[in-house]
Chains A and B, each alone.
Chain A
Amino acid sequence: MKKVRTADDSILTDEFLRQLINVGEVDILVGLPTHNNAKTIAPIVATIQAGLLTYFPRDRAAIINADGGSQDGTPELVLNAAIDDLRRRSNVSALRTMHVISTQYASSPTRGDALRSILAAGELLRAKACVIVSPESTQIKTDWLTKLLRPVYAEEVDLVLPTYSRHKFDGILLTNLLYPMTRALYGLRIREPYALDFAFSGPLGSQFLAQNAWQDETARAGSETYFTLNSIAGHARICQSFLGTREHVERRSSDLIPALRQTVGALFSSLGPHMTLWSAATGSQPVPTIGPEREFTLEPLRVNRKRLREMFSTGVAELESVFQTILSTSTLEELRRIARLEEGVFRYPAELWVKTIYEFAVAYHKAVISRDHILQALAPLFRGRALTFLVENRNGPAETVENNIEALCLEFERGKPYLLALWNGRE
């Protein structure tokens, strides 16, 4: 990894600071966190540039790539996405210079460190609005820029979160845990609390940058979720904007644990500091949304149900001693029961799933064992719940899928007194 030089207590390298001086004040900052994204990054940068030129031709804009030490030439591809090529191709012209700069942040590739570098740049450049674009957003269209930025820029919204058209089985962790639990906790129906493409106001970015959570490993890993939850806690003005299709990304089985750390870990961690807020919230309210709240695509998808079922049963058996420290007796007993069910009748009911999650959340808060072990222990259980969701919605139209998600959300809301009782030690 290239050695980078910073002042003793600065998160910004000297070279990055020099580049920021040259950029000067901006109206819009586009943050692009990357790490070995050479396969996808060039067209994404080109689309961002086209979006800025099309929708914000008069505004001062800069694209800032915070790279985690890519070995595949990602930063070079970002910098080489020449605007002249773009002009020839799409016949758009620019009034102003558009800066594209890249920096390698000074530690290991963590999304939190990337976000922190981008937020620091946004503050130094006094950006009015910032947008973060995921290097995996290969479906990005030029209008994403305006859909995400315009509410911040023109309507004084603090945080714009995306909604997408996804495959009904894409983001099961989101639909079965993150969305319903965030909604139940904080009373806001935010469909993508773990957003990879989102926009926020300069002041909100500065506020988050000033948080002390940057040294916390969980917060750094789940910085996007943290950002959303902190914004809710800070009573930021939030809206959602429909961006269109987000392509289903095939995940490996081994991706689940890091995903749990980035999302569920951050969500569980937020319970302590925001207890006053979530304990007082009842029911849930919709969040202003531009465009549809959600769309589902329904193409057939091959799923290895047998393997999911096995991973669940094996996990319940092998991690029994761990579960005994996390779960209540009744919940564990119930899990044992369903682990014995034949594949054809297997079902991880919503009520049990909610109870499980709330017990995990409290165990995480109380750190009954290592918090990372708690998150890892959740993995086989999540696979069991995922299998149930897949089976329940296998042939269902979009409406059925949405109804099932809504039912689960209501289950999380109904179960919230149980969470509070656990939290307060009454259960």
Chain B
Amino acid sequence: MTVDVRPAGENWYKRAIIYQVHVRTFFDSSGDGVGDFQGLDQKMDYLQELGIDAIWLMPFFPSPLRDDGYDIADYYSVHSSYGTLEDFKKFLASAHKRRIRVIIEMVLNHTSDQHPWFQQSRSSRENARRDWYVWSDTDTGYPKAGINFRDTELSNWAWDPVSKSYYWHRFFSHQPDLNYDNPAVREEMWNVMKFWLELGVDGFRLDAVPYLVEREGTNCENLPETHAIIKELRRKLDEQFPGKMLLAEANQWPADLRPYFADGDEFHMAFHFPLMPRMFMGVKLEDRKPITEILQQTPEIPPSCQWCLFLRNHDELTLEMLTDMERSYMNDSYAQEKTMRLNLGIRRRLAPLLENDRRRIELMNGILLSLPGTPSIYYGDEIGMGDNINLGDRNGVRTPMQWSGGWNAGFSVADPEKLYAPMIQDPVYGYSAVNVVSQKRTQHSLLNWMARILAVRKSTDVFGCGSIEFLYPANHRILAYVRQLGTETILVVNNLSNAAQAVELDLRRYKGNILIEMFGRNIFPRVGDLPYLLTFGPYQFYWFRLRRI
């Protein structure tokens, strides 16, 4: 099924605004305490009004749910808690009707240990699917490979008492890695993707892509063989499903990520992981240095490719791409309580991280939406939802969406005890204080502000597709850059400080232009030969359109 959805045209993903949601968390239509596709469908008007262009769905496949669905037991179906395949199809049509694209999660690297493929593989060494996973008689192979979940796993090898051998897993031990050296595995995984593409999904977020292939003597990440597999998938995608998109989840340095774009023939997009913690660091330090430094280190990518930027997502705020000193600073600044930390990250939502400071929340979103890339907004952050650090793992940031101040926050009519996770109920972030209904009724609520800024972002293609040039005013608390696309030029100036600031910008090359503030459309003085003086309130930012009239 082909639907003409916006943003129209080629490279739609470069202009899109992505909204990340887990179907389980959004709205429960059946009253069983778990969100479902019919519920999500019922809330599509809300997402349309918010102004997003694409939904990124976290895994919704049958799964024992030991890793929130990233442990898939059947790639061709929908988890019964979330509905049926028919429900999914209806939701997809509903989204497309509203010109919203749908990106689904695809966990290529591993399956659940409950997947029939693994059950067959472990059943005997002679089984036809034995070679679909990575087996060994010892647990000493690939010693250079790091352990991702170091809080829970001691080794990347796990002993299987059934087949009396070790299997390889880069994540939890209940998630055995598929063996991509086996052509049958590669073929089957393409069949999986083809199945969903034929239903009409618009793209995949490919989970944990650096780890597909293992080679002795390496850290088993980013190997050429892995790139070859991605290239092959992309070739098939372009040939058979043009206009569809692949998004890489690879928590790597920009220089290591760059090969995943190759010559524009691997991924269309990749998450820019190192930028995200540095945005938080920049605001805490009141210094643009961490942000400008990492973007200086970010290599050019092919014109058809795009970075995917985010403030928060379903995982912990990863600090892996930081130095020890930076990591320690981030922990001390944003995760004073040990329970807030998980692996090498911080398991908190945007609003609590920013101490529910509306000005900082707006500033961070302003930066997210104006830097080069496609922004991804995590569900609930548009209303400033809180988290529950008393829930284990990353479940504290995966609590039900807060629709109203009523029963179960309007999420479900089930008894509260039946909810898949308890509602946030604390006085600051609880659903009686933070919910969609109340924010819709308040003109200056965060929700309405988010809708406005998304509309401003979408009023131009510059943010999604334009170039960036940093200005380096002497005041280091000011992060300023010029975005340009064709004849359109936008100046973005952010005050990272919690105090009023003055800055003088060297805008001589734009002499003669007048500045038009993009939110209020007010005119600012014409640029002349002298440094352009701007003053800011705490955490204030401006987006100016430069016009020569």
Which B residues from 470 to 496 make CB contacts under 8 A with A? 473-477
Which A residues from 328 to 365 make CB contacts under 8 A with B? none
B281 an interface residue at 8 Å Cβ cutoff? Answer: yes
Segment touching A, from B54-62, B376-384, B497-505: B497-505
Given the interface contacts A96-B289, A97-B287, A97-B288, does A22 sit within 8 Å of B323 by beta carbon?
no
A5 an interface residue at 8 Å Cβ cutoff? Answer: no
B473 x A96 contact (CB < 8 A): no
Residues of A within 8 A of B289 (CB): 94-97
Q: Pick the contact of B497 from A19, A24, A97 — CB < 8 Å?
A: A24
A168 an interface residue at 8 Å Cβ cutoff? Answer: no
B518 an interface residue at 8 Å Cβ cutoff? Answer: no
A19 x B477 contact (CB < 8 A): no
B128 an interface residue at 8 Å Cβ cutoff? Answer: no
A395 an interface residue at 8 Å Cβ cutoff? Answer: no
User: What's the Cα separation between A58 and B328 when bound, in Å?
Assistant: 10
Residues of A within 8 A of B290 (CB): 95
A57 an interface residue at 8 Å Cβ cutoff? Answer: yes
Say how far A94's CB is from chain B's closest CB, in angstroms: 7
Secondary structure at the A interface, as helix, strand, loop or mixed, is: loop
B502 x A96 contact (CB < 8 A): no
B326 an interface residue at 8 Å Cβ cutoff? Answer: yes
Which B residues from 98 to 150 make CB contacts under 8 A with A? none
User: What's the Cα separation between A60 and B326 when bound, in Å?
Assistant: 15
B473 x A95 contact (CB < 8 A): no
Q: Pick the contact of A95 from B281, B497, B504 — CB < 8 Å?
A: B281
Closest to B502 in A: A21
Residues of B within 8 A of A96 (CB): 285, 287, 289, 476
Q: How large is the interface on B (under 10, 10 to 19, 20 to 34, 35 or more residues)?
A: 20 to 34
B329 x A58 contact (CB < 8 A): yes
Say how far A92's CB is from chain B's closest CB, in angstroms: 9
A57 x B325 contact (CB < 8 A): yes
B329 x A24 contact (CB < 8 A): no
User: What's the Cα separation between A95 and B499 when bound, in Å?
Assistant: 20
A25 an interface residue at 8 Å Cβ cutoff? Answer: yes
Given the interface contacts A24-B497, A24-B501, does A97 sit within 8 Å of B476 by beta carbon?
yes
Residues of B within 8 A of A21 (CB): 475, 502
User: What's the Cα separation between A370 and B325 when bound, in Å?
Assistant: 59
B329 x A95 contact (CB < 8 A): yes
Closest to A25 in B: B499
1/0 contact string of B250-263 vs chain A (CB within 8 Å): 00000000000000
B325 x A93 contact (CB < 8 A): yes
B474 x A95 contact (CB < 8 A): no
1/0 contact string of A99-113 vs chain B (CB within 8 Å): 100000000000000
Residues of B within 8 A of A94 (CB): 289
Which B residues from 8 to 61 make CB contacts under 8 A with A? none
Say how far A359's CB is from chain B's closest CB, in angstroms: 55
User: What's the Cα separation between A403 and B358 when bound, in Å?
Assistant: 66
B476 x A99 contact (CB < 8 A): yes
B477 x A24 contact (CB < 8 A): yes
Given the interface contacts A95-B289, A96-B289, A97-B288, does A22 sit within 8 Å of B475 by beta carbon?
yes
B285 x A95 contact (CB < 8 A): yes
User: What's the Cα separation between A97 and B287 when bound, in Å?
Assistant: 7
1/0 contact string of A195-235 vs chain B (CB within 8 Å): 00000000000000000000000000000000000000000
User: What's the Cα separation between A178 and B501 when bound, in Å?
Assistant: 46
Say how far B267's CB is from chain A's closest CB, in angstroms: 30
A22 x B474 contact (CB < 8 A): yes
Residues of A within 8 A of B502 (CB): 21
Number of A-B contacts (CB under 8 A): 42
Say how far B256's CB is from chain A's closest CB, in angstroms: 19
Closest to A96 in B: B287
User: What's the Cα separation between A99 and B476 when bound, in Å?
Assistant: 9
Closest to A58 in B: B329
Q: Pick the contact of B475 from A24, A58, A95 — CB < 8 Å?
A: A24
Residues of A within 8 A of B288 (CB): 97
Residues of A within 8 A of B326 (CB): 95
Of B287, B290, B323, chain A has the most CB atoms within 10 Å of the CB of B287
Closest to B290 in A: A95
User: What's the Cα separation between A94 and B293 when bound, in Å?
Assistant: 11
Residues of A within 8 A of B325 (CB): 57, 93, 95
Of A18, A57, A95, chain B has the most CB atoms within 10 Å of the CB of A95
Say how far A174's CB is from chain B's closest CB, in angstroms: 40
Closest to B475 in A: A22
Residues of A within 8 A of B503 (CB): 22
B475 x A93 contact (CB < 8 A): no
Which A residues from 45 to 97 make CB contacts under 8 A with B? 57-58, 60, 93-97
Residues of B within 8 A of A22 (CB): 473-476, 503
Residues of A within 8 A of B286 (CB): 24, 60
Closest to A94 in B: B289
Say how far A29's CB is from chain B's closest CB, in angstroms: 15
Closest to B478 in A: A22
Of A21, A22, A25, A57, chain B has the most CB atoms within 10 Å of the CB of A22
Of B326, B476, B501, B502, chain A has the most CB atoms within 10 Å of the CB of B476
Residues of B within 8 A of A57 (CB): 325, 329
Residues of A within 8 A of B323 (CB): 93
Residues of B within 8 A of A25 (CB): 499
1/0 contact string of B261-274 vs chain A (CB within 8 Å): 00000000000000
Residues of B within 8 A of A99 (CB): 476
1/0 contact string of A1-27 vs chain B (CB within 8 Å): 000000000000000001101101100
Say how far B283's CB is from chain A's closest CB, in angstroms: 13
Residues of B within 8 A of A95 (CB): 281, 285, 287, 289-290, 325-326, 329
Residues of B within 8 A of A19 (CB): 474
Say how far A27's CB is from chain B's closest CB, in angstroms: 12
Of B288, B325, B473, chain A has the most CB atoms within 10 Å of the CB of B325
Residues of A within 8 A of B499 (CB): 24-25
User: What's the Cα separation between A19 and B477 when bound, in Å?
Assistant: 13
Residues of A within 8 A of B501 (CB): 24
Residues of A within 8 A of B474 (CB): 18-19, 22
Which A residues from 120 to 160 make CB contacts under 8 A with B? none
Say how far A243's CB is from chain B's closest CB, in angstroms: 26
Residues of B within 8 A of A97 (CB): 287-289, 476
Closest to A57 in B: B325
Residues of A within 8 A of B281 (CB): 95
User: What's the Cα separation between A186 and B210 when bound, in Å?
Assistant: 71
Say how far A17's CB is from chain B's closest CB, in angstroms: 11
1/0 contact string of B398-440 vs chain A (CB within 8 Å): 0000000000000000000000000000000000000000000
User: What's the Cα separation between A18 and B504 when bound, in Å?
Assistant: 10
User: What's the Cα separation between A217 and B101 when bound, in Å?
Assistant: 77
User: What's the Cα separation between A341 and B289 when bound, in Å?
Assistant: 70
User: What's the Cα separation between A18 and B475 when bound, in Å?
Assistant: 10
Which B residues from 500 to 528 make CB contacts under 8 A with A? 501-504
User: What's the Cα separation between A36 and B325 when bound, in Å?
Assistant: 38
Of A21, A60, A96, A97, chain B has the most CB atoms within 10 Å of the CB of A97
Say how far B433's CB is from chain A's closest CB, in angstroms: 33
User: What's the Cα separation between A410 and B81 when bound, in Å?
Assistant: 90
Which B residues from 310 to 362 make CB contacts under 8 A with A? 323, 325-326, 329
**7 residue pairs bridging A and B, Cβ less than 8 Å apart:** A22-B503, A24-B497, A25-B499, A58-B329, A96-B285, A96-B476, A97-B287
Q: Ordered nearest first, which 8 A-B pairs have the shortest CB separation?
A: A22-B474, A97-B476, A22-B475, A96-B287, A97-B289, A97-B287, A96-B285, A57-B325
Apart from A57-B329, A95-B287, A97-B289, list 14 A-B contacts with CB within 8 A. Answer: A18-B474, A19-B474, A22-B503, A24-B475, A24-B476, A24-B497, A24-B501, A58-B329, A94-B289, A95-B285, A95-B325, A96-B287, A97-B287, A97-B476
